[in-house]
Every structure is written in structure tokens, then in C-alpha cells.
Amino acid sequence: MTGSSPINPNVQTIIASLKDKPGALLPILHGIQDELGYIPAETVPAIADALNLSRAEVHGVISFYHYFRDTPPGKTTIHLCRAESCQAMGAKDLENHVKNRLGIDYHETTKDGVFSLEPVYCLGLCACSPSMQIGNEVYGRVSAESFDSTIEALS
Amino acid sequence: MTTTVYVPCDSGALCLGADKVASKIVEEAKNRNIDINLIRNGSRGLFWLEPLVEVSTDKGRIAYGPVQPHDVVSLFDAGFLTAGTHPLALGLTDEIPYLKQQERLTFARVGITDPASLDDYLAHDGYRGLKNALILSGADIVKHVTDSGLRGRGGAAFPTGIKWNTVLNTVSEQKYIICNADEGDSGTYSDRMIMEGDPFVLIEGMTIAGIAVGATQGYIYLRCEYPHSHKALNTAISKAYEAGYLGDSILGSGKKFDLEVRLGAGAYICGEETSLMESLEGKRGLVRFKPPLPAISGLFGKPTVVNNVISLASVPIILDKGGEYYKNFGMGRSRGTLPIQLAGNLKQPGLIELAFGVTLRELLYDFGGGSASGRPIKAVQVGGPLGAYLPESQFDTLVDYEAFAAIWAVLGHGGIVAFDDTVDMAEMARYSMEFCKIESCGKCTPCRIGSTRGMEVIEDIIKGHDLNKNIPLLRDLCNTLLNGSLCALGGMTPYPVLSALNHFPADFGIADQADAA
């Protein structure tokens, strides 16, 4: 590939350090998303080139997995569990509250760029339903009130 | 004298504030000039009591819970370090009936040891299975596993020994052990508890598997929704390498086994073994046709053992105490123990490891204490999002693979989610189709198109449109999914959908079973 815009040197380092692993594509994509919060389209040619794949193949993998994103997330991403155990403990009401409070739907980011909201299908905290994850922090038995105080502390 | 205090580091305790409790205890001890040794153990699995703080005493470990940061000062005032009385005191941990009535084999150490300490693991019978395995032939190791009657705990319940034997007998210069740690089934969390509470037992089980079948490389395919498991596994793996339990010559035996954690990326389908291998190879997680079996042509086309976390974590005790020991637990063709996970609307949700043969009712009421809301339990879903919904009339079913199959249900990974009588089962059926739509890999038509059509038909049914036409249409569609899908996602989504329709026809706007036909 020629003529593509220069990419972040850290991304180049990530690609170079992982490309020789067997099945390197997912580790590389995780590495880039950990670094930048998303996988910018301009990194795709460099990934494809390093792994001897087509850009379509790399794009296909990025788009297959719910976790990978090609747009920047808000400063903080909230993963709210929608699965059965959480539903049995009021997750639907919580979901409505969260969407109203943030003014966004799933897969959207607040206008001020502070919060992104993503659904998740089980965090393995089913004995503490309903649950959510913010960054690497997990929260159980979440209520509308505890959600509000958690995000107030973060905004 | 320094007192040892335990505050769990399991996600289930962390999500209820365990870190804040731990720092408050450290701070308060410092203020009072008291020496304590704080250990971050796994969870005992009594989640309604988390964060569960334990104190080591002459008589044994004493429990207090659920502890919040604002309770800490009063715990010190009450002399909890010397087993003082306090409203949150629960007495000796081992005497709590919920724990005392269990038969913990796979979970023997979880909640007791420090998951980050190899010494603690060794002091609690760790790596005894591996030491036995190192002096046995591969075929003899496999024989122990076969004799134990262990069946895949991930859900499919395929005999583990048979799978291992196929890999053992397939000649190849490279073979792999994969641990399926993509615990995506909602209502299940036993894999997570093992990985966070006793990661060495999984590492030991995988090492034994590698030695048994002649595989030198292992991968743990972990879902990215489990950041705490990721950290715990990587810590344990590096300690195992340092101490010679992993690497080029395990304990000087000349046998090699390397192990690495790989992260998934939020695709439920990657818990299906062939999709998982595609993902490990760096591709879209599309399900493969079988045959060839992964045991013959698996990861990168090489013979591969793919086992669930609990299956592999049950191997060390089988190699330590022998296949016969494990087999003596259980009933019929379901041998050994099952770590059952109670979830959803229950007073006392948690992890219960028991020999097969307990009834659902005992689990829901004797252990679970009935619903958290105090309302009647209307339905339970067993075995994850692809498991059937069971009505109260089926609560006497025994926890046994065959007993569940006999009522057109599945035990799966042993997750039980309870719903009270406010649940709308037509809405749950609609959700099952929606979940299948979101998670379908798209390779086969019944699952890819059928899930969307299924959602639409159930939405029509919920609106009361043309029930005479739409109910038979939904059944016909489910029949296509059941028989025409490539894997269990499309193939089993009809379980929750049809069981909801059959057992709760009123929620679909039809009067009784006869009309539901």
C-alpha cells in the first residue's frame, strides 16, 4: 500500500511486535484498540500488509466482532448487561433509565463525548444482577440511584 | 500476633465494593496500630453475603458479611479480629449450611487460597495430579480421565476421555490444547470463578492434557468481558513458568508445554469450538462444518483438544485421586460433580458444587431460598440462553444430563436463572430470537434469516395478530432452525422459544396447551 496517511508510531510498534504470533490478527486489533480506544480505518492497510492479508479480510474481522469499533468511543464506555439473569432482576427498567439519563441509545456516544453506551450479553455477575462494567470496573445490583451516583462521580 | 484477614478479589465481590472494604480494613488497622495480613482470596460463592470478609482464628476461619466500607469501624470495635460478635457475624465459614452441604471437588480451593500464590496452591494439594501424570504414559492418563466418566462441562457433555483418546491416537508433529473460556452463556459464572479464584488448577489441568495427548502448546481463549480473569490467569501463568511448571521441561521431565491467554472480542458464537478456532487463527468466527472433528483436524489443521474450563479444572483431582474416586460421585451416566450456578431472581444466588442427582427444587428453595422479590417463581431457564424454560411442574427434575434431555431441556453449563411471576414469557421468547439474530455468525441460512423472521413472528403474536396463522408458523420456523442449523446457536434457540410457548401459552395470548399446538 502506498499513499495512505501516516499512522501512529505506537500502532506500528504494536503491529511489529505481534505480527509473528500464530493467529496474530486479534492480538493486534486488541493492542490497537487498547492504545487508541478504536481501530482507525487508516490502520487497516498497515495491518493487512504486515499479515499478508487483504484489507477486506482485515475489515471483515473488525466488523465481525462486537467489541471492536472503528469510531472513537466517548471518554468512558458503559457496558450494560441485557442478558436473562439481569432481566429477571429489573435490567429493562434500568436500561430505560440509563438511556434517558444519558440521552443516547446503545452504540451511541453522548454529545459532550463523555459516555458511550454498549450492550453486553453477560458479565458473569449473574449472582449480582443487574450488572454493568465501566472501563475495567464492574458493578453489581445496580439501581437507577446507584447508576446515577456512579456516573456523577465519573463526569 | 498478625491476624490474617481475607477479602475476596472475585469480580462478584469486586462489583459489590470489595476493594473499598479491603482498603478501609487496611486503613483502620493502621490507625489502631494493629498488624494484619490481608489476603485477596477467591469467592466462596455465597454472593448474597459478598463482600464476605473472613478472619483466621484458632478454631478456623470466621466469616462476616455482607460487609460495606461503613461497617469496617464497627467490626474493629466489635473485635472481629478475635472473632468478636457483630450483627454481620456468620460464625465459622465452613459451618455455613450453604457451604457445608456441598461436595467441592473442582472448587476445593476456591475462596480458601490466595489465587496469586503458587505456594498456597501447593500447600492445598496443588500439582499432585501433574506429579502423578508425569510418571504415567499418555494412554494411562487418558484412561484415568475415561474411567472418571467426566463429560464436557461446557454444555455438550461429550465424554472427555474419548476426545483425548482421539487426539492421542492421531499422529502429528504438532497438537494443541485449547481451553474454551468464552463463558458467554448468561446465568453462568463458574469458569470465571475458577479463573479468578484458583487459576493454577486450570493451568495444571491443561498441562496434564498436553502431556497426555502429546500437545506442546495450549491456548486459553478468554472472553474480553472478563478483565479480572485475564489478570489472574496471566499472573498465575508467569508464576508457573518461573517455577518450572510450564515451559520446555516441566519439573525437569523433558516434557514441554507452553501456555498463552488469547482474548475474544465479544462474539457469543466464538464459544462454539470450531468458531473459536477460526477466531484463534485470526479470522471471523464462522462456524466450520464437522467432520473433520477438531480432535483430528482442529487449530491450524492440527489435532486439537478443546475443553471447557470446568472440564480441564476437574482433571487435576482425577489424576490426584484416580478416575474411580471421581466416578463414585453422581448418578447414571452423569458422573462426578457439577458446579451449579444460581442466578436471577433468588434470595441466595451462588455457586453450589454437588454430585449429580439433586433436584431443581432443592436448589431453588433449600439453597436459593426462593425468589428475591418474595413472589412465586414462575419459570427457570437452565443451561444458558439456548436452554429451555422450565415451569414449576418440572422443578422435581434431577440434575442429570439424561433427566433433562427426557423433558426436552438441557443442563448445559449448569447455570440456573430464576424468574418470578412478573415475567412475560412471550417477551423472553422474543428476546431469545433477538439474541440469536445479534449473535448469528451468518454462515447458515436457518440461523441467519430464521432468527430475524422469528423475532418478527413473535412480535406479531405479542400484538395478537393472526394467532391461528402465526403460532403454527413459529413452530414451523423453529423446526427448520432445529434441524437445519449448522451449530447449536440456531439449532437450540427453539429450546427457550418453544418451551416458553408450550409451558406458558397464556403469555402468548392463547388459552391453553391445546390451542398452542
Residue range B63-100, pLDDT digits in tens: 999 999 999 999 999 999 999 999 999 999 999 999 99
Find the residue in A nearest to B440 (Cα): A64
Phi, then psi, of A89 in degrees rounded to 5:
-120, 25
In a domain, B112, yes or no: no
Domain boundaries, chain A: 9-64, 76-154
Which residues on chain A are in Cβ contact (under 8 Å) with B283?
25, 61
What part of B 167-226 touches A (C-beta under 8 Å)?
A: 183-189, 191-192, 224-226
Q: Are residues B401 and B451 in the same domain?
A: no
Task: Provide mean pLDDT across the span B375-382.
Answer: 98
- Supply the ipTM of this predicted assembly: 0.96
Q: Which CATH superfamily is domain A76-154 in?
A: Glutaredoxin (3.40.30.10)
Whether residue B266 sits in one domain with residue B166: yes
> Comparing C-alpha atoms, which of B337, B429, B439, B425 is closest to residue B379?
B425
B188–A124: do the CB atoms touch at under 8 Å? yes
Residue B107 forms part of a structural domain: no
In a domain, residue B108? The reply is: no
- The percent helix, strand, coil of chain B (3-state, each to 5) is 45, 15, 40
The CB density around residue B270, as the number of other CB atoms within 10 Å, is 29
Q: Taking CB atoms and an 8 Å cutoff, what residues of chain A touch B184?
A: 121-122
What is the average pLDDT value for chain B, to the nearest integer? 97
Measured between beta carbons, the chain B residues lying within 8 angstroms of A139 are 15
Query: What pLDDT was estimated at residue B475?
Result: 98
Among residues B363, B391, B420, which one ends one of the domains? B420
Closest chain A residue to B442 measured between Cα atoms?
A: A64
DSSP 8-state class, residue B408 = T
Asked whether residue A4 carries a pLDDT value surpassing 60, the answer given is: no
CB B225 within 8 A of CB A133: yes
What is the full DSSP assignment across B90-112? EEEGGG-HHHHT---STTTTTTT
**Structural domain tally of chain B?**
4
Q: What is the 3-state secondary structure (H, E, C) of B420-476?
A: ECCCCHHHHHHHHHHHHHHHCCCCCHHHHHHHHHHHHHHHHHHCCCCHHHHHHHHHH
Residue B257 has pLDDT above 60, yes or no: yes
Nearest CA in chain A to B269: A65
B117 to chain A, any CB pair closer than 8 A? The answer is: no
For residue B106, is it within any domain? no
Identify whether residues B477 and B377 lie together within a single domain: no
Segment A85-109, tens digit of pLDDT: 999 999 999 999 999 999 999 999 9
pLDDT in tens, B146-193: 999 999 999 899 999 999 999 999 999 999 999 999 999 999 999 999
In whole angstroms, give the CA distance from residue B376 to residue B397: 18
CA A20 to chain CA centroid, nearest Å: 25
Grid cell for residue B500: 416458553
Are B199 and B240 a contacting pair, CB within 8 Å? no
> What is the pLDDT confidence band of residue B301, given thresholds at 50, 70 and 90?
very high
Q: What is the CATH number of the domain that holds B410?
A: 3.10.20.600
Cell numbers standing for residue B187: 446465568
When pLDDT is cut at 50, 70 and 90, the band that residue A3 belongs to is very low
User: B464 is in which domain, residue-wise?
Assistant: 425-508
CB < 8 Å from A in window 405-424 of B: 415, 417-420, 423
Claim to verify: residue B169 and residue B317 sit in the same structural domain: yes
Q: Does A121 sit within 8 Å of B381, measured CB to CB?
A: no
Same domain, B231 and B318: yes
- Buried (b) or exposed (e) across B71-95, using 16+ Cβ within 10 A? bbeebbebebbebeebebebebbee
B159 lies in the same domain as B237: yes
Last residue of some domain: B46, B66, B96? Answer: B96
CB proximity list for B429: less than 8 A, separation 6 or greater: B458, B496, B497, B500, B501, B508
Are B42 and B155 within one domain?
no
- Model confidence over B499-512: pLDDT tens digits? 999 999 999 999 76
Judged by phi (left if over 0) then psi (alpha if -120 to 50, else beta), residue B408 lies in left
* CB pair distance less than 8 Å for A64 and B285: yes
Mutate to test the interface with B, among A29, A85, A121, A147 (most CBs of B within 10 A): A85
